[in-house]
Amino acid sequence: MQFLLDSFHSALLLLWSVDPELVEIVSVSLKVSSSSTLIASLVGVPAGFFIAFREFPGKRLLMTILNTLLALPTVVIGLFVYAFISRRGILGVLNLLYTQKAMIIGQVILIIPIITVFTISAISRIDERYRKTAMTLGANALQTAWVIIREARFAIMAAVIAAFGRVIAEVGISMMLGGNAKGFTRTMTTAMALEYDKGEFVLGVALGIVLLTISFGLNIFFNYIQGRARV
Amino acid sequence: MLYELNNLKMIYGKRAVLDLPHLSVEAGRIVGLLGPNGAGKTTLLEIFAFLLGPTSGELRFHGKKVDYENNRLRELRRRVVIVQQHPIMFTVTVGKNLEFPLNIRKFPKQKREEVIDELLDLVGMREFKHARAHNLSGGETQRIAIARALACQPEVILFDEPTASVDVENQMTIERIVREINQEKKISVIFTTHDMNQAARLADEIVFLFEGRLAQSTYENIFSGQILPGENGDPYCLVQNTLKLGVNKGNMGPVRIAIDPNAIQVSQTADEPPPPNSFKGRLVQLTEEKNKVRALVDVGVPLSVLISKKELEAMSLGVGSSIWLTCPPESIEII
C-alpha cells in the first residue's frame, strides 16, 4: 500500500515538473486518438444517418454485424491490420507498420462501428415531425438531413466522445501496430504497460492520472455545452 | 382548380385509409375537411402538402398532374406549406425558426429581420423573438408555426386541426389569423377539424370525410354494434350490449351505425308498452347550436339530439330531466 502511495506522490511531482518525456507521450496519444476519432466520425456519422433513414435489403443483417463489431477486441484488429501492412502483407510496400498511421488505421476500424451504431440510435430517436417540417418549409434532402443532425447533435457528440474515450484508453492496437517506439508511437497506455513490465510505477501512475483527467475534462465540457443549450 | 384528385387511394397494409373517386378544391377559399378521428383527414392533407404520394390515382395541382416519379416535388412543396397538428419547433430561438424558410430560399439577409418582425406582429408574438422556441406553450407554438409557414410565402397553407391543442383564447386568435391570411394575403387555406362549429365558422366550403370516403354530411352518434336476428325475424342492432335498435335492413354481423341527431324524436312520456326503438334517458347537457339546441341524453350510451328551441320550451326541459327518445329505423344509417 505504501508503495502505491509513494508512486502516487512521485507521480504528482512528475506532473508538476512537466516532465518532457511525459509531455511527449501525452501529445502522441492525443494526436493519434484525435485523428482516428475525426476520421471515424467523418465516416460513421453519415453512415449512421444513411442507415437510419434508408430502407434497403440486408439492413437488419448490417445492424447485427455492426452490433457484433462493437465487441471487437483490439488485439483482433491489431492482428488483422498487421496481416495487411507487415512486410509480407499486400500493403507491405507502404511501410506502415510501427507508425502512427498504422495505429490510426486500427483505431478507426475499432470505433467506426461505435459511432455508426450510436448515430443510428440518435437519429432514430428524432421525432419524425422534424423531417416533415423541414420538407414542408421547402428544404431539400441535404438541408433536411442537416436539420435532423442538428436536433440529434448532443447524442451524436456523446457518440464521438465515447469513441474518443475508447481509442485513448485502448492498448492492443497501439502496441501491435505502433510498437511502442519512444518518441514516435509510445502512447499513454503502451507506456503504462511498459512501466508495469519494468516494475516501475511512477510514470505509469502519472499517465493514469493524465488519462482520467482528460476524460473528466471532456465530459465536463460536454455537460457544459449541453447545459447551455437547455436554458 | 387548385387541387383536383381522381380515383385516389391510399392503402396502408390492407386498409384503405383514403378512397376518393373525385374531389376538387378551388383556389382562394377556406375549405374545411370535417370528420371524426381516423377519417383520413391528416393523410389527405399530407397528400395536398406533397409530403405523401397516394398508393394509386392522380392528383392535379393547378390542372397539372403531380409527378411522383421524378424528383420534382420540392418545387411544388415550396408553394404549399402544412402546419401540423402538434407543430414542432427547431431547438433554436423563435426568430431563427422563422428564418429557416427564408434562409433556404436565399432571401436577402438584410431584409430578413424586417420580414420576421412583421410576421411575429401578425401573430402577436413580437416579444418572443429571442425566446427559445421549445419553451413555448401549445397555443404559442401553434402561432409561431403559422408565422413560420407564412415566411415561406406560400400559395396554400394547410392546417391540421389548428386549434386541437390550444386554449379558448388562443383558439379565437388562431381563427382570426387564418381568416386574415386568406382575406388579406390571398392565400388558399385548407384545414381539418372534427369540430362542426369551427368548420361552420371558418370555412367557405366544407368537405365531409368518413373512414377515408367522402360523405354527404358528417356522421354523428357513431357506434359499433352487432346486427342480430330478432325473435319475430326483424333484425336489430345491439349496441354496447345495452341498446337494442330495430333496423330496416342490414347483413348479420358486426357493423358501425350512425344515428341522425335531427331525426331522433323527443317526448316526456311514452305509451305503455313503449314503442319500438324508444329509450328512457337522462338529459345531461344542453348547448345552443345556430337556431337549434343540442341535447346530450344518457340512455345507457350518450346520444346527441337536435331539437328546436320551441320544442325545448314546450317541454320545459332542464339538465337532469328524464325524457324518452325514439329513433325511427330510417334515422339509423349503417356505415
Stretch B139-148: mean pLDDT, rounded? 94
Integer angstrom CA distances of residue A156 from A121, A123, B31: 9, 8, 43
Task: Tell me: pLDDT of A231 over 60.
Answer: no
- pLDDT at position B225: 84
Domains of chain B are 3-215 (3.40.50.300), 222-334 (2.40.50.100)
Residues A138, B78: C-beta atoms closer than 8 Å: yes
Task: Tell me: pLDDT of B73 over 60.
Answer: yes
CB contact, 8 Å: B65 with chain A? no
Residues of chain B neighbouring A229 (CB-CB closer than 8 A)? 91
Interface of B with A in 227-286 (CB under 8 A): none
For chain B, what is the mean pLDDT? 89
- pLDDT at position A163: 95
| Cα dihedral: B312, B313, B319, B322 (round 10) | -70
Interface of B with A in 159-218 (CB under 8 A): none
Which of A125-139, A156-170, B26-40, B259-273 is least confident? B259-273
Distance from CA of A127 to the nearest CA of B (A): 9
SS3 B314: helix
Residues of chain A neighbouring B91 (CB-CB closer than 8 A)? 150-151, 229
**Could you count the other beta carbons within 10 Å of the beta carbon of residue A37?**
25
Domains of chain A are 31-181 (1.10.3720.10)
Distance from CA of A225 to the nearest CA of B (A): 14
Provide the percentage of residues in chain B whose pLDDT is more than 90. 50
Q: How far is CA B218 from the centre of its chain?
A: 10
- Pairing relationship of beta strands B253-259 and B222-229 according to DSSP bridges: antiparallel
- Pairing relationship of beta strands B322-326 and B302-308 according to DSSP bridges: unpaired
For A94-115, how does the pLDDT look when each residue is reduced to its tens digit (9 = 90+)? Answer: 889 999 999 999 999 999 999 9
For B174-209, how does the pLDDT look when each residue is reduced to its tens digit (9 = 90+)? Answer: 999 999 999 999 999 999 998 888 888 899 999 999
Stretch B86-103: mean pLDDT, rounded? 94
SS3 B3: strand
- Pairing relationship of beta strands B30-34 and B188-193 according to DSSP bridges: parallel
Which of A19-33, A193-207, B243-257 is least confident? B243-257
SS3 B57: strand
Distance from CA of B135 to the nearest CA of A (A): 9
Residues of chain A neighbouring B101 (CB-CB closer than 8 A)? 137-138
d(CA B311, CA A49): 65
B-chain residue closest to A154, CA distance: B91
Task: Tell me: pLDDT of B71 over 80.
Answer: no
The grid cell for B72 is: 420534382
Per the CB < 8 A criterion, the answer to whether B219 and B36 are in contact is: yes
Task: Tell me: pLDDT of B129 over 60.
Answer: yes
Q: Can you tell me the ipTM of this complex?
A: 0.75
Residues A143, B104: C-beta atoms closer than 8 Å: yes
